[in-house]
Each structure stands twice: as structure tokens, then as C-alpha cells.
Amino acid sequence: MHLLETRNLTVRFGGVTAIDNLSLTVGEGEIRGLIGPNGAGKTTFFNAVSGRYPSSGEIRVRDHVVSGLKPNEIVAQGLARTFQHVTLFKSFSVLKNVMAGCHLRSGYSFWGALLGTPRTRQNEADNERRAREILDFVGLGGLADETAANLPHGLQRAVGIAVALASEPQMLMLDEPCAGMNTAETRSMSDLIRRIRGNGTSIILIEHDMKVIMGICDQITVLNFGTKIAEGSPEEILRNTAVHKAYLGSAADAS
Amino acid sequence: MSFDEIPQMLVTGLSLGLMYALIAIGLTLIFGVMRIVQYGHGEMYMLGAFFLYYWTAKWGLPYWLGVAASASVIFVLGAILQQTLFQAVHGRNILYSLAIGMGLIFIFSSGGQIIFGTTVKGIPKFATGGILVMGGFLSYERIVISIVSASLVVGLWLFLQKTRTGMAIRAVSEDPETSALQGIRTRQIHWVAFGLGSALAAIAGCLMGTLLSIVPTMGFVATIKAFMIVIMGGLGSIPGALVGGIILGMIDSVVTTVISADIAIIMSFVVIFLILVFRPSGLFGQQWT
Amino acid sequence: MKVEQGTAAAQADGKGNAAPPSLNRYAWAALFAFTLAYPAAVSFDNYLLHVGITIAFNVALAASMWLIWSLGLVSFAHAGFMAIGAYTSALLLTKLGWPMWIGMPLGAILAGAAAVAISLPLMRTRAVYFFMASWSVGEVIKRTIAYFDGLTGGWNGVFDILPPTIDLGPIQINFADRIAYYYLAVVICAIIVLCIYRINDSRTGMIHWSISENELLAEHIGINVFKHKVIGFTIACVFAAVTGALYAHYQTFISPKSFDIWKSEFALVHIIVGGLTTVGGPVVGAISLTVIDETLRATGPFRVILFGVILIATVLLLPGGLETIPGRIRRALRGRKSS
Amino acid sequence: MEAKSNMAAPRSSWRPSRRTALKAGAASLIGLSAPAIISGRAFSAPKTIKIGGAVPLSGPVAYWGISTMQGFVDGAAVINEAGGVVINGEPHMLEIINYDTKGETADARAATLRLVEQDKVKYVYSQAAASTVGMLQVTEPAGVLSIVACWGYLKLFGKDYPLHFRAEMSDYEQGFAYIPFMQEHYGKDSLKSAAFIGPDDQDGKDCNYSYQRLMKYYSIEDKGSEYFNWEDTDFYPIVAKTLRTTPDFIVTSPTPPGITGSIVKAARELGYKGPIASPAASETKTILEVVGELATDVVLPVTNVDPTTPSQVAIRDRFMKRFGDFNALAGNYSWWIYSLKAAFEAAGTADDPKAVAEALGNVVLEDTYCGKVAWAGEKSFGVKRQGVYDCYTTLIENGKARLADVRFPALPADY
């Protein structure tokens, strides 16, 4: 049984086929790299799997068919994601961002919240504790009360990951987590990704920084024009001629 | 209803639709560029009409020169309003621009009552009589207004497509940040577009004011109509304003003639609602949040 | 790690970091205490009681509209739902003789049902398109009421909507008495504001602001955005309907014109002037602007102009609205202390 | 948009310039905020009688409210200068207090509450149906006398509202002047059927009711009624629909002058030849400006296009001086305060609105801006509470307006 499996996944926008018959499996505890030139369909794949875009074909999580579910239902299945552009509740404090991220695990009920029952208060206290734990885990423990918008770019990305982790996913889809980061930040981000996996969460990673990809991924899938052109361990991918060809066609993207 | 009423219905609806479009294109331009809600757009329409009233009825100056003068004066006024009031709320939530627009409605319509008086006025006509078009009567006034409206729509479209300023305006409306990086002075584009939009409202006010009558509180109805049209057509879309105007004009004409006016206005709101439900960004709109 | 200075926008919308809760609570308690003491404070002046009742209506209306705003939506259907509540209660009384105590809840239920039904399509639209679509809803409600004149009296309106009475043997209250109605209005208004405060203060409020801040992210942390929008909108419309019933039985006369676009617009103005980020905003905004409007009444033709000037001045000179004043004072004091 | 129940309007050979209009605004502000000036503090603390106005001074119907207010402010000044209201030999000064209603019912109620409960006013005037409804809920239970211009809501008028006076003739009373005039002018045989156009609101329905009763009384066939929205811009559709029934003449009421102009224009352009009567649109100049040379056979009752008698001219000149503005509507309303003064003096008290109301019903003024004025309606309403006066009818022919007829309405015997 695979954690995530897509069968013949296809996404079309009008006449353009962005993902074409993509079949892919990701096992538990795996870090999977997803690479390919710009426009290869990597982010579209995330959007399709996370329920943002409609798709045809099949998406399964632990053998449950989740195709056609809405994003919030997909998250409930244990699939969380981050976004290419930093996406946060910018006017919230960092802590509140993560607490909002706890939504699915918060034991929320409308009436409980309205009446402020002891149970709700207990739940919210738990949520806050958990949120602080997650912040400590991603290394933001000291910034809990900062307004998210006030943080530098790199830290905002880390908050984004913390928010996604708050739903306690089995699989985390990271869309270019190291974009716009310097070497030191990139290194600590790689480290964070490894530690997340260490907690038992699988990861799919879109990243242009080949050092990151090659350094941390167990398996790599290469997309071009919406189709899978190669799959394998980092070493295999480095040797693959089709991959080189695809990247030579648009050399700038590989940097 | 009999069949010989159909031509009149259609001719009336088309000319009314073009009039509506005339009121709306200025608003859609401002919307597109500044991403703010100029709720006081109708007040520019009202002021434009009153300027022409004083120009022709009071000072006895030529009509069409007065329309041009009115447009220029309101252009300046619009630019000033943009610089003094709307620039400060640019980029903030649309509510703030909405509030300023409402404030302008209060100030201009009530101030207008004190300065211009509360009596209804009429602007001297530029033409009388008319012709039969496909069996429906169309006065020369309406023909002129329709032609002006259509050519302003086309002219504005060409201006945005072909001229440097126009292209800059489009660039700013599509992607303000990138165009700022490319060296387009967005602040300048803002007041130019705002002034231009206001001037278009003034022209609409002049022509519609001539056809109908003018009173200082007439701006709000124009705002309502312009809003309905612009949002139905899609914010920032000039063809949208034209199509939206004609849809509204046709509903007003056909439904009023066939059923009644109260059903017509209910119907126009229902149609807008349905359009927005099935096309959440209007008929020709870009996604706008 | 050096934290950069935040943007002005982030500072203005300090949803995460409002005033200390204790201070907040004292302010609310003081306001409520003053509200209760108000009739005595104005030595039972009937006209000033009337102003108080009007303020209660406006506060309830603005606060409930603000609840929709916390979802990031500006609804102009509000006057329409107020009309549903008002007409239901009024017609049940004048046609069937049912008192307000039955009419008001029924009106609220009807408005709630209508709100759920209409929001299913309505919530597909966003931002300013939602604004226009909700405006259409409000206009259609108003004009439909006017159209079915056999039932509703059409433009003629409904007369003789008597205030309710309570008859429990020893306790008899006739709400035709201005003081009694004042307390009725204040209590209902306080319940509405309290509910909204609680909603906003709980996780529901956090969900609302998440949706308002970033709908995409809200969806991807597992929030059913559509459902919460429908629920929030419906609750607000129910409150509007309750306010409408309360309004009808006080005015004793309603017509479709009582619920035109300006009702919604003024509620919106109250919110903007008061402040957008806490429920204190609409409350303070509605109170101060109603008082100002009543005062300006004597200036005749200048009333509306002055109102417009105050509105624009507040937006430009006091960004964030009246609710930011305590924070400004605190910052100013702190600034003085530290220097 | 707010509807207006009654819109008589100004003749205007005079065009307001910017300066005079500003002067008008300033003058009205003074009139509002400083009633003491008008009430004449120069006198050694005489008794005062407060008269309150709950009228639209802002918003779309401000025109009517301001015109009403001007009559009271001017009248109070004139009366005070001439020694005030003399009650049992003792002079009383008049003090006018005005509060804005925006022309909205709830707002009018608030304004009236302030007048009655705070300022302790016992005499209130108001304007237009919406304001009147709001005002009446306060005045009648509080025992306060009210004078208004309101054409509809007839169930709020009559025996059950003994303190409520409707000074302005509605289109119903006007009908007994302008329809006979039209029959004489155009010939009875050419006016056998009629159609009605009015706004889609209560004012429109009320006027339609008046119209129906008039048509029945004069045995004219009713060819149907159409209602327009206040938001409407184009009147082609509604006029086209009306013309389908081929009426001999059209009554449009209560349509303000601008819309009347648009209706006339549409009708003439669509080839309609019959006369069009508009009992509310007396702004002759506007209609001429809007319709141009197509304006012909437009009948405007209660519109005095050319003040001629010395008292009419005096009122016009005084208004021009005091407010920088004068319209026929303000003239039509200018007699209200004099009627009230006569009632105070006849009743011998200003403290008892009931006694004043009794007296007011019997007041007859001979020489006002509207000529002879009396209160009527005893048989229809049970009390004499409806103002009736000489109806000055202006006729527009070939783009020119002239005063065509002056007659006291020939009210039916059972009125």
C-alpha cells in the first residue's frame, strides 16, 4: 500500500494539457523530489493532488480514492502542502498562524466555541501548547508573538511549513521551500525537511536547487510538459540522458 | 404587445444601452487601474452636467466647446481628488475608498443643492427632431449620444491599445509592481487614469443631462447604474461596459414595454445576480480580489 | 535574529495583537453600565431615550454587518434581511394578531432560511463582485415586498405595528413606554453584540479572519471555507432580522423604503469609521455617528455635507478608525515615558 | 430615491446665480440656527410661540422642504416686524425651529420627537408623504397641531386626526379646477379617455387613486395606469406602453418637473398629440428647458407662471431679497403661517392646539399668493382640514408658457 498514488492523472486548462496521464507512487517515510523545467507541471501536480484544480484519473491516499475532494477534505486525509509564494495569514501573529493551522486537530465545534465550554478551553490550551511545540520544532519558538508580515522572507517560509505541519499530515508537499534563500538558510531548511521526515511524515518536494534535491531526496521524479520522463534515485537521475536533454532545452531553469 | 412595437423596443433599448455604457466606461477605467471603488463617480457626472449648464444657459457659450471644457475641468478635479483623497487609500481595503466615495456623494450632492439650488434644470438642446430607424423613432439627440458613446468606447479601447500612455495604463492595471520596476510612474498613471475616467463621466453627464434634466442629487442614480454595468461586464473591461450597458438597456426597454417597469428593475438585479453566480468575475472580467 | 520593521498595513490591522483583554473587558463593562444608567442620566428625557433606542438599532445592525465583514465580505443585502425580519413580525401581528415574541423568532428563522438559500449561489462570488451581488439581493428583497402589495401593503407599508407587552400577572410591562422599549432594545442589542463578540473571540472568529486574510491557505489547512461563509453570513442575517423586528415594533410603521440601500450604507459607514478589526469598532462607530447625525439635524441643508466631511476626515486622518484611539493614546504615553 | 407627494413648483423668470444661491444657503442657515434673530429679541421679552418644522432640508427632496421652510421663516419675520401675533391684546413673537428629515419616515419621526419633546413645540409643519407619516405618529398622540403638504395616506387624515391639516391641494382637489379648464379649452368631446403615469411608490398609487376618482366623476374613460421607477433614465418604454392604449390625454402625477419634461418629450417624439397634465410639476422653466419647442399642450395646475397681484409681487420680491431665490412652490406655501396666525388670534390662545385647530378650520384668507384660501372637506373627511385655494393653471403651447386660467376648484357637493 502506498501513501500516495496517482493513476493516469490528467489536468487540462482549456486546450492545454498541463499534466498528461501521470502515474506516480510515493511510499511512507519517503522524501520524493519533483523536478523539471519551468512549466513542466510540478506545481500543477500539487494543485491537482491538493484538490485545488479539477483533474481526471485517480488519486489515492492509502488506497482511498480522494479524487474530486475539496482542498479542506484532502487535508483531512493527511495531505498538507505549502505554496510557492509565501502564503500566510499575514496580519496574524506567528503563534496564531500555527494555531489556525491546528484547525483539523482542534476539536472545534461551533457551539462549544460560542459558549466557551470547559472542554473547548481545554482544547484551545492544548492547541496553543501544540502550536508552540511545532514552532520550537521549526526553530521559531522565540518569535511566536511577532506579526507574520514583519518576519523576513526566509522565516515566513518556515512559518508556512509550521502551519502545514499543524494539521499533523502524513504527507507534506513542499513547493520550492528554499526559493530566494541564501546558503545558510537553505542548509537549515534541508535540515528541517529531514527532521520532519524523521517524525514519520513523508515529503514531496519541488525545488530548483539541485544541491538540496540531490542531498535529501530518496527518489526523484522528473516531469517535462506534464509527463514523467524519468524516475529513480538521485544517482540514476544524474545519469539519465532524457533529463539532461530536457534541462538543456531550458538551461536557465536548472540553476 | 404587437409586433410593430418590436422595432421601437429594440431601437430604444440599444440607444439606452449605449447611454448606460457611456456612464460606465469611466468607472471601469478607474476600477481597472487603481483597484479602488470610486463610489462618487456619479458626482463627476453631475458636476460635468452642471458645468455645461452654466456654460451654455448662463454664459451663452457654444455647446460642444462646453462639453470639452466640462471634460477638462472634471479631468482636473478628478486628478486632484485622486491625489488628495484616493491616493492615500490606494492599496488598502476597498472599504476605505468606498467610504471616501460615499463622503464625496454627501458633500457634492448636498453642496450642489446649496450652490446650484435645488430646482431641476435643463440644458439647452443641440438638436431637435429625429428619424425612423427600422420602424422605431430615434431622435437626433439620441443618435448623437449613441455615436459619441460608441466612439468613446472604441476610442478608449484604441487609446489603451495603441498609445504610450494607454499602454502604460494597461500595464499598471495588469501588474502594478512589474510596471513600476519597468520604470512606469504608477502614481502619475493613477491620476491620469482617474482624471480620464472622471472626464468620461463628465461627458456622459453633459450629454445625458441635455437629453434629460439635471439636479444636484442625480449623481447617485448614475453611480448605481454604472456600478451595475461595470460589475456585470467585469471590472476594468471596456467591452464589458459596452455589453453590460446594452444588456441593462435592453432589459429596461423590452421588459418595461412588455410587462412593467417594476418587473424590469427586479429583473435587471436578478440578471446581474445570475451573471455573477455563473461568471464570478463578470462577463469579461479578470480575477480581482 | 533581526526582525524588520513591519509594514504600515500590518500594524494597522493588528488582529493578532489587540488591546490587553483585561482593559477591553473593563471598557465593555463601563459601556454596558452607562447604557443601563443612561435613562436616569438624561433624567428620562423622552427624545434622548429615542436617540438611545436608535443607537441600539444602529449598533446591532453595524455589529452584525461587521460579522460578515470578518469573513472578508461586504454585504449590502443587510437591509433586505432586516426587512424580512421586520415584515414577518409586523404582518404576523397585524394580520394574525401574533405578538412580537412569536413574530421576531419566526422572522429570524425565515431570514436564516433565506440567507442559507441565497448564500449557496452568492458565496461563489468574491470581493467587490460579492458586494454587487449582495446589493442585488437586498434590492430584490425590497422590491419583491413592494410588488406583492396584497400581502405586504406594497409601498403603502404596514401601519399599527404595536410594541409588545408582557403580562405575567404581577409583572406587567407595556413596551409602548419609551423607557421600557429602551431597555428591551438595549438588552437585545447587547445579546447580539455579546454573541458576535463571543463568536469573534473563539476559534470561529479565528476561522473567519483566516478566511478573510487568505482564503486559499484557509482551505489548505482544512477549513471548509464555503460552509463557514454560509454559517457566518446566515448568523449575521438572523441578527439583522431580529433588529428589523425590533425596529418595526418601535417605529410602528414600515414600508419598503425603510429598508433601502442607505440602511446598509450607513451600517457600513459606522463600521469604517469605528474600525474594522474588533467588534468594538462598529459599536463605537454606530454610537458616535448616530449622535453626530442627530446633532447635525439642526444644521438643515448642511447636515449631509458635514457628515460627509467627518466621514472623509476620519478615513484619512484616523486610519483604522475610532477603535485605534486607545492604542494611539497608549503609544503616545509610552513614547513620552521612554523619552 | 425618495418620492415626493406634492411638487408644486416655481415659476422662474429668475435664474439663480452662484452668488445668490450661496446667499440663499447662508440665509437659510441663519434662519435655522438663529431663530432668535427672527423672533425679534429687540422687543422687551415678549411671549413667543414656537413653530417647528420637520421637513426635508437635505437629500433628493430638499427642494420641497426648503420651499416650505422659507414660507415660515419669511412669514415669521413679517409677522414679528408688524408686532407679532396679537392674542387677547398681548403680542406674541413667532419662533421657527427647523430640523432636517432627509425625507425619510424614521428620520421625520426623530425630528418631530425632538421638536415636541425637547423644544416643547405645539405647532409643527412638514412636507411630503414620507415625512408626514413619521411626523403624524408623534404629533397626534401628543396633542400637537400639524400642517403639511401630503397627497396620499388618506386614512391618516380626517376625523381621527383632528389636529392634522393638509394645506396643499392634492391632485384630487386640483382636478376640479384643471379638468374643467381643459374641457373648456380643448372641448369636452376631445377628452373622452385618459391614461395615468406615475412613480412606482406610494405617492404614485395615491395619485392614481385620485386620478381614478376624478375620471369617474367627470365620466372620462380610464385607459390604464403605468408606473416608472425613480431609477429610470429613459421614459420611451413607459410612454410607448401608455400610448398603445391611445388615450385622449395623459395625467402624470406626482412627477417632478424634470421627469415630466422627459415624459412630455418622449410622448411628443413618439407622435402623441393629446394634452398632458402634470399636477405636481409646476417648474415651468425646467419643462421648457427639457422639452424645448416640442413642449406644447402641457397643463400645469397650481402653477403661477407670472405673479401679478401686489401681494404676489411683494412675496416674490421679499423672498428674492431674503433667500436669493423664489419659486412658485414657495409662493404656494407662503400662506400657511398667516392662516395659523389668524387661528391663534381667533382662538385667543396659543397654548391649546385643540382650540387653535378648531379656529384654523374656519380661517379664510382673501389675498394670499394663491388668491383666496379656505379649509374644506367637511363632508368627505368629517372635518375641514384640507386647504383649498384659487388654482392658477399654466399652459405651455409651442414652447411658451402662459397663465391660462385662475379658478377656485368646483368641488363636488359632497366634498
SS3 for chain A is CCCEEEEEEEEEECCEEEEEEEEEEECCCCEEEEECCCCCCHHHHHHHHCCCCCCEEEEEECCEECCCCCHHHHHHCCEEECCCCCCCCCCCEHHHHHHHHHHHHCCCCHHHHHHCCHHHHHHHHHHHHHHHHHHHHHCCHHHCCCEHHHCCHHHHHHHHHHHHHCCCCCEEEEECCCCCCCHHHHHHHHHHHHHHHHCCCEEEEECCCHHHHHHHCCEEEEEECCEEEEEECHHHHHHCHHHHHHHHHCHHHHC
Query: What is the torsion angle, in degrees rounded to the nearest 10, for the CA atoms of residue C326, residue C327, residue C329 and residue C334?
Result: 140
**Bridge partners, A34 (sequence order):** A206, A221
Taking 70 as the pLDDT cut, the residues of chain C under it are 1-22, 336-339
Over residues C214-228, the pLDDT tens digits come to 999 999 999 999 999
Strand partners, C158: C254
Binding partners of D (≥3 Cβ pairs within 8 A): B, C
Helix (H, G, I), strand (E, B) or coil at D150: coil
Cβ–Cβ < 8 Å for A116, C200: no
Report the gap between the CA of B195 and the closest CA in chain D (Å).
25
Q: Measure in Å the smallest separation between the Cα of C231 and chain A Cα atoms.
A: 10
Contacts of D118 in chain C (CB under 8 A): 45, 47-48
Domain membership of residue C138 (yes or no) is: yes
Considering only CB atoms, A76 lies closest to which of C198, C216, C222, namely C222
How is residue C125 annotated by DSSP?
Answer: S
Q: Which one of B102, B232, B266 has the shortest CB-CB distance to C265? A: B102
Q: Which amino acid is at B195?
A: G
Please tell me the total number of residues recorded for chain A in this structure: 255
Q: Is residue B73 in a domain?
A: yes
Q: Which residues of C touch A (CB under 8 A)?
A: 1-7, 9-11, 13-17, 195, 198-199, 202-204, 206-207, 209-210, 213-214, 216-225, 231
pLDDT-based confidence at residue B245 (cuts at 50, 70, 90): very high
Residue C275: strand, helix, or coil: coil
Strands (E), D324-383: 365-368, 371-376
Residues 6+ apart with CB under 8 A from B278: none
Record: contact D109-C251, CB cut-off 8 A = yes
The distance of D100 to chain C (nearest Cα, Å) reads 5
Whole-angstrom distance, CA of residue C282 vs CA of residue C323: 9
What confidence score (pLDDT) does residue C22 get?
62
Strand segments, DSSP code E, in chain B are 130-133, 136-139
pLDDT digits (tens, 9 = 90+) for D296-315: 999 999 998 888 899 999 99
Q: Which cell numbers hold the place of D214?
A: 376624478
- Whether residue D236 and residue B116 make contact (CB cut-off 8 A), yes or no, is no
Assigned domain for C61 exists? yes
Contacts of B2 in chain D (CB under 8 A): 244
Interface test with C, best of A47, A88, A92 (most C CBs within 10 A): A92
Q: Nearest-CA neighbor of D225 among D203, D201, D252, D248? A: D252
Instruction: Report residue A81: phi and psi, to 5°.
Output: -145, 165
In angstroms, the CA C310 to CA D190 distance is 58
C156 and D CB contact within 8 Å: yes
Q: If residue D198 lies in a helix (H) or strand (E), which one and from where to where?
A: strand D193-199
Residue B167 domain-assigned (yes or no): yes
Q: Which long-range contacts (CB under 8 A, 24 or more apart) does A210-218 make?
A: A210/A35, A210/A254, A211/A186, A212/A178, A212/A186, A213/A33, A213/A35, A214/A238, A215/A190, A216/A31, A216/A33, A216/A190, A217/A31, A217/A32, A217/A33, A218/A30, A218/A31, A218/A32
| Span D363-374, average pLDDT | 93
Cis omega before residue D254 (within 30°)?
yes
Query: What pLDDT was estimated at residue D3?
Result: 40
Looking at chain C, which residue has its C-alpha nearest residue B102?
C308
Region of residue C321 (left: phi > 0; alpha: psi -120 to 50; beta: else): left
* Nearest-angstrom CA–CA distance, D135 and D291: 37
For D385-402, the pLDDT digits (tens) are 999 999 999 999 998 999
**How far from A58 is each of A12, A55, A61, A129, A172, CA to CA, in Å?**
15, 8, 10, 38, 19
With b meaning 16 or more CB within 10 Å and e meaning fewer, what string describes B220-252? bbbbbbbbbbbbbbbbbbbebbbbbbbbbbbbb
Q: Are B95 and C125 an interchain contact pair (Cβ–Cβ within 8 Å)?
A: no
C interface toward B at CB cutoff 8 Å?
A: 9, 69, 74, 121-122, 124-129, 131-133, 135-137, 139-140, 143-144, 146-147, 265, 268-269, 271-273, 276, 301-305, 307-309, 311-312, 315-316, 319
- Closest-CA distance, A15 to chain C, in angstroms, reads 25
Query: In 3-state terms, chain D is what percent helix, strand and coil (to 5)?
Result: 45, 20, 35
CB pairs A-C closer than 8 Å: 126
Number of domains in chain B: 1
Locate C266 and state its grid cell: 450607513
* CA-closest candidate to residue D152, choices C100, A73, C155, A77: C155
> What is chain B's Cα-based Rg?
19
Tell whether the torsion through CA atoms of C268, C269, C275 and C280 is positive or negative: negative
Domain that holds residue C131: 38-258
Interface of A with C in 74-113 (CB under 8 A): 75-76, 80-81, 83, 87-93, 95-96, 99-101, 103-104, 106, 108, 110, 113
Residue contact C222–A104, C-beta within 8 A: yes
Q: What is the pTM of this model?
A: 0.90
**Is the pLDDT assigned to residue D44 strictly greater than 80?**
no
Q: Which residues contact D176 (CB under 8 A, 6 or more apart)?
A: D214, D409, D410, D411, D412
In the structure, what pLDDT confidence band is assigned to residue D110 with cuts at 50, 70 and 90? very high
Fold topology of A80-168 = Rossmann fold (3.40.50)
Nearest Cβ partner for C303 among D100, D105, D205: D100
Asked if the structure places residue B155 within a domain, the reply is yes
Q: How confident is the model at residue D210 (pLDDT cuts 50, 70, 90)?
A: very high
Residue A73 contacts residue A80 (beta carbons within 8 Å) = no
Enumerate domains of chain D plus CATH numbers. 18-169+307-384 (3.40.50.2300), 171-301+393-407 (3.40.50.2300)
Query: How far, in Å, are A34, A180, B156, D144, D357 from residue A207 at the CA level?
Result: 7, 11, 44, 82, 89
B249: pLDDT strictly greater than 90 = yes
List residues of chain D with CB under 8 Å from any CB of chain C.
2, 25, 28-29, 32-33, 57-59, 62, 66, 69, 97-100, 102, 104-106, 109-111, 113-114, 117-118, 130, 133-134, 137, 153, 200-202, 204-205
How many Å lie between the alpha carbon of A246 and the closest alpha carbon of chain C? 32
Which of A70, A75, A89 is nearest residue C213 as measured by Cβ atoms?
A89
In this complex, the residue of C131, C137, C307 whose CB is nearest that of residue B106 is: C307
**Are A6 and A58 within 8 A, CB to CB?**
yes
Q: Please report residues of C whose CB lies closer than 8 A to that of D58.
A: 300-304
Q: How far apart are CA B160 and CA B239, in angstroms?
A: 12
Distance CA C4, CA C291 (A): 42
Task: Report CA D23 to chain centroid distance, whole Å.
Answer: 24
pLDDT for residue C69:
94
- The answer to whether residues D254 and D151 touch, using CB atoms and an 8 Å cutoff, is yes
Q: For the segment C271-312, what is each residue's pLDDT rounded down to a tens digit?
A: 999 998 899 999 999 999 999 999 999 888 888 899 999 999
Q: What is the CA radius of gyration of chain D?
A: 21
Q: Does the CB of B261 have a partner CB in chain C at under 8 Å? A: no
Which strand (E) or helix (H) includes residue D342? helix D336-347
Q: What's the confidence (pLDDT) of residue B1?
A: 53
- Nearest-CB residue to B265 (from D229, D258, D283): D229
**pLDDT exceeds cutoff 50 at B84:** yes
Q: Give the per-residue pLDDT at D209.
A: 93
Residues of chain C neighbouring D59 (CB-CB closer than 8 A): 304
The answer to whether B120 contacts chain D (CB < 8 Å) is: yes
Q: Is residue B53 part of a domain?
A: yes
Q: In what order do the strands lie in the sheet with A64-65?
A: A16-26, A4-13, A56-61, A64-65
Give the pLDDT score at D42. Answer: 46
The strand pair at A219-224 and D164-166 is best described as unpaired
D43 confidence band (pLDDT: 50, 70, 90): very low
Number of separate domains in chain C: 1
B 194-253 near D (Cβ less than 8 A)? 208, 212-215, 217, 220-221, 224-225, 249, 252-253
Parallel, antiparallel or unpaired: strands D221-228 and A56-61: unpaired
The number of angstroms, rounded, from the C-alpha of A11 to the middle of its chain's C-alpha atoms is 19
A29 CB contacts (<8 Å, ≥6 apart)?
Answer: A197, A200, A202
- Closest chain B C-alpha to C13 CA, distance in angstroms: 11
Please check whether residue A114 touches C, CB under 8 A.
yes
Cβ B22 vs Cβ B226: under 8 Å: no
Average pLDDT over residues B257-264: 90
Report phi then psi at C202, rounded to 5: -95, -175
Q: Where are the domains positioned within chain A?
A: 80-168
* Rounded mean pLDDT, D268-274: 91
User: So what's the pLDDT on residue B287?
Assistant: 53
Chain C residue numbers touching B282 (CB-CB < 8 A): 129
Chains B and C: how many Cβ contacts under 8 Å?
128
| Minimum CA–CA partner of A128 in chain C | C203
| Interface predicted TM-score of the whole assembly (ipTM), two decimals | 0.88
Q: Which residues of chain A have pLDDT under 50?
A: 251-255
Q: What residues of C are in contact with residue A71 (Cβ under 8 Å)? A: 219-220
**Which of C2, D131, C306 has the alpha carbon at shortest distance from A150?**
C2
- Phi, then psi, of B88 in degrees rounded to 5: -65, -25
Per-chain mean pLDDT for chain D: 87
Q: Are B21 and B245 in contact (CB under 8 A)?
A: yes
Exposure pattern of B24-57 as b/e (b: 16+ CB <10 Å)?
bbbbbbbbbbbbbbbbbbbbbbbbbbbbbbbbbb
For residue range D215-244, list pLDDT tens digits in order.
999 999 999 999 999 888 889 899 999 998
User: Which residue of chain C is at minimal alpha-carbon distance from B92?
Assistant: C9
> How far does D383 lie from chain B, in Å, by closest CA?
35
Enumerate residues 257 to 276 of chain B having a beta carbon within 8 A of any beta carbon in chain D.
257, 260-262, 264-265
